[in-house]
């Protein structure tokens, strides 16, 4: 008789989107590391809901998923699943993924850069300060916002001048200036 995890893994390939999403969710709740590779494969699912849930579930499984996720990131030549991998790594939040997240701050996909910036802020490793400061000049507005918030989360006074510079450069963009002000407030200046 098939074990519960085997049934859930089988259901990840079901024809029904809701059943696939539920299977991904249950694998995450189980914390069973046998579900890691099938969840990574689910990043190729046609449904964004299933892909998103697979990322969340890998985040729940936690540290055992780090190495397989980093390996999948390296092998994603087309860039289709990077944002989901980055989201999962963000949810795991372990300092061991900081270097990987710093690398993807330069990815072609703005969503990947945004998730990476957000993750680096949440993890809080000061090693991310300089790469995040460099991301303040990103052409994507969402990446800039995530970067400003991340710098605020890091709470490092060395970010004050770059944040002020980004705020000055945001002429006519009240929302970006607001985010910069909140970041400065978090740092305490």
In the predicted structure, residue 53 carries a pLDDT above the cut 70: yes
Q: State the virtual CA torsion across 92, 39, 54, 78 in degrees, nearest 10.
A: 90
* CATH number corresponding to 1-79: 1.25.10.10
Residue 2 binned pLDDT confidence (cut-offs 50, 70, 90): low
Instruction: Check whether 1 has a pLDDT greater than 70.
Output: no
Least confident of 26-30, 72-76, 85-89, 134-138: 72-76
Q: In the CATH hierarchy, which fold is given to the domain comprising 93-189?
A: 1.25.10
Label residue 75 by pLDDT band (50, 70, 90): confident
Helix, strand, coil % in the chain, rounded to nearest 5: 80, 0, 20
In Å, what is the CA distance from 68 to each residue of 65, 101, 120? 6, 15, 20
d(CA 162, CA 130): 10
Locate all alpha helices (DSSP H) within 31-158, ordered by sequence.
36-41, 48-61, 66-75, 82-92, 98-104, 110-123, 129-135, 141-154
Average pLDDT score, the chain: 94
119-154 pLDDT, tens per residue?
Answer: 999 999 999 999 999 999 999 999 999 999 999 999
> For the chain, where do the domains classified as CATH 1.25.10.10 start and end?
1-79, 93-189
Q: What gap in Å lies between CA 79 and CA 188, rounded to an integer?
A: 38
- Of the chain, the end-to-end C-alpha distance in Å amounts to 62
């Amino acid at each position: 008789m098939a074990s519960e995890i085997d049934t859930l893994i089988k259901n990840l390939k079901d024809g029904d989107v809701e059943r696939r999403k539920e299977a991904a969710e249950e694998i995450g709740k189980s914390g069973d590391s046998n579900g890691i590779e099938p969840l990574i494969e689910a990043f190729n699912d046609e449904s964004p809901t299933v892909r998103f849930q697979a990322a969340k579930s890998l985040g729940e499984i936690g540290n055992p998923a780090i190495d397989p996720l980093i390996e999948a990131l390296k092998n994603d030549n087309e860039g289709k699943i990077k944002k989901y991998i980055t989201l999962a790594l963000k949810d795991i939040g372990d300092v061991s993924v900081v270097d990987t997240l710093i690398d993807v701050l330069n990815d072609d996909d703005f969503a990947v850069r945004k998730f990476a910036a957000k993750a680096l802020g949440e993890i809080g490793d000061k090693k991310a300060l300089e790469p995040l400061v460099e991301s303040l000049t990103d052409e994507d507005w969402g990446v800039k916002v995530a970067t400003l918030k991340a710098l605020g989360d890091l709470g490092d006074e060395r970010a004050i001048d770059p944040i002020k510079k980004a705020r000055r450069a945001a002429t006519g963009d009240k929302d970006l200036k607001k985010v910069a002000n909140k970041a400065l407030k978090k740092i305490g200046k």
